[in-house]
Amino acid sequence: MKTLLKLSFIIVLAMGLTHCKKNQTGGKASVSGTVAHHGKVISGAFVYIKFNAVDFPGDDYKLYDTYVKADVNGYYKFPVYKGNYYLYATGYDNAIPYPYVVKGGLSFSIRNKENLTKDIAVTE
């Protein structure tokens, strides 16, 4: 009986350690790219990510799981696990009339250890 209990415990522990982590960043895959408006990079854009999503969740940043701020070259990067995701970017382009806000998004699927480049085109 003790052997059966120990074996059951080991199996449950092993299953817990090997399950997919789809609701957090990390992992051996990554998605990166540039945020641009008509070819002009949007420095400092906020790039939000929604886990387990293929459709646009909406433009409210609270609907997303986490975010990064693009660098001065509009570059962003997320380490992720395999799965489906939605990216949404928002930023400012002073070359257009007030309020200068540009936004856009895309969905993608990624496999384990895959490195994707996904540029995000934003518009008014």
pLDDT score for 24: 77
DSSP characters for the chain?
-HHHHHHHHHHHHHHHHHS---SSS-SSEEEEEEEEETTEE-TT-EEEEEET--S---S-GGGSSEEEE--TTSEEEEEE-SEEEEEEEEEE-TTSSTT-EEEEEEEEEE-TT-EEE--EE-B-
**What pTM, to 2 d.p., does this model score?**
0.82
pLDDT score for 25: 87
Pick out the chain residues at pLDDT < 70.
Answer: 1-23
CATH annotation of 22-121: 2.60.40.10
Q: What is the pLDDT of residues 11-46, one digit of tens each?
A: 544 444 444 555 678 999 999 999 999 999 999 999
pLDDT score for 17: 42
pLDDT score for 13: 42
